[in-house]
Amino acid sequence: MSSAAPRIGVIPLVRATFDLGLAEEMRGKAWSALEATGYHVTGPRGLLVDTEGAMRAAQSLAGDDLDLLLFLQLTFTDAAMTVRLARAVGAPMVLWAFPEPRTGGRLRLNSLCGINLAAHALARTEIACRYLHAAPDDPAVAERLTSFVAGEGWPAVPEARAVPDSDLGAAALASVRHTRIGLVGRHPDGFDTCRFDPAELDDLLGITVDKLTQSELFDRAGALNATEVTQVAARARSELAGLDEVDAAAADKSLRLYAALRDLARERNLAGMAVRCWPEPFTEYGCAVCRPMGMLTEDGIPCACEADVYGTATNLLLQALAGEPAWLVDLVDVDPVSDTGVLRRCGLAPCGMADPATPPRADVHGNRELPLLAAFACRRAG
């Protein structure tokens, strides 16, 4: 590094389905905080929504002798662009996520989840990165950036620890051996957490994967007779308040997806299912598959969204250990001062997890605004 001011290249990433107004506000504050450090800050000031714009930015930064390449993870995005940009620029990397208010409502940024996904994808491609989770006006930001420029602040690699043998653990492992998971569709691009190795899964847990297409699921759902749909709707009405307040046609399609998933699981002897939950259920079929997966999980057939086979396998083990349905969540906020975090996911949680003070209600997907989801706060464990 020369005696001149350190050079920081900035990439502001967003996804259009989140709150771009808030993202732009955070970008402006972050840029001001960076300039206040006295470092030379370069890169696009506009929000980067698509790969084409991001790659143009990368090409302009690739010629710079950067001390840091700083990704402003202003909203959740998948990791595909991040990996491509990291390869194109080739500078030491930092991922910066931004806290957002804990309102209990729709996530406006979901930034922390974005850098978790990106860090995992970078690790799988053997690209090292550091991270920052702080508001732009946090006084610690300048100090952290200084340490990053100096080549410090690399996350410690946790030591592997042996898991003690237990009768309960052995029983859980035995319960999943020789089971099958149904995989509907393929995981979304940029979701490397959902990439799985069939041979490794079979060797580790004795689980095999039965692949199905989304068209098979949609066709089966559409062919259900009215009596079957009425029975499923009666169950949904008994579990959820406000079912009449969401779009009836879309809710009907969502309940049809539950019945189709249930029937496929029975016919193919599937212990769990991993379902590609977007965009096709919304864009091609016309509803959310969140609540259908939650209902199937309540039936003892755990489901994971985004075609996450490893997630479904994990749920099978957790279900065996706990003796009740399990649910995958995202870590969306952490506050080191109060030592608390926020876990959240779209509405596929089993309704048995609801806090009695917030009975489950029918809801729509926060980004796609289509039913059917179950909305509630989770009860405390124990």
Chain centroid to CA 295: 20
Class of domain 167-375: alpha beta
| Among 305, 285, 309, CA closest to 217 | 285
Domain layout of the chain by residue ranges: 7-149, 167-375
Element (H, E) at 36: none
Q: Kindly report, residue by residue over 117-141, the tens digit of the pLDDT.
A: 999 999 999 999 999 999 999 999 9
**pLDDT grade for 1, boundaries at 50, 70 and 90:** very low
Residues 6+ apart with CB under 8 A from 69: 8, 9, 11, 61, 85, 86, 89, 91, 92, 93, 94
Q: Indicate the angle between helix axes 80-89 and 111-124, nearest 10 degrees.
A: 60
For domain 7-149, give the fold: Rossmann fold (3.40.50)
Most confident of 55-59, 142-146, 154-158, 286-290: 286-290
- DSSP 3-state assignment of 11? strand
Pick 5 or 2 by higher pLDDT: 5
Q: Kindly report, residue by residue over 327-366, the tens digit of the pLDDT.
A: 888 999 999 889 999 888 877 889 999 999 989 999 999 8
Average pLDDT over residues 174-190: 96
What backbone torsions phi and psi does residue 374 show, to the nearest 5 degrees?
-110, 125
**pLDDT grade for 158, boundaries at 50, 70 and 90:** confident
**pLDDT grade for 92, boundaries at 50, 70 and 90:** very high
State how far the Cα of 61 lies from the Cα of 44, in Å rounded to an integer. Answer: 9
Give the predicted TM-score (pTM) of the model. Answer: 0.89
Q: Kindly report, residue by residue over 299-315, the tens digit of the pLDDT.
A: 999 999 999 999 999 99
Token couple for 302: 């755990």
pLDDT at 289 over 60: yes
- DSSP 3-state assignment of 366? coil
Average pLDDT over residues 75-86: 94
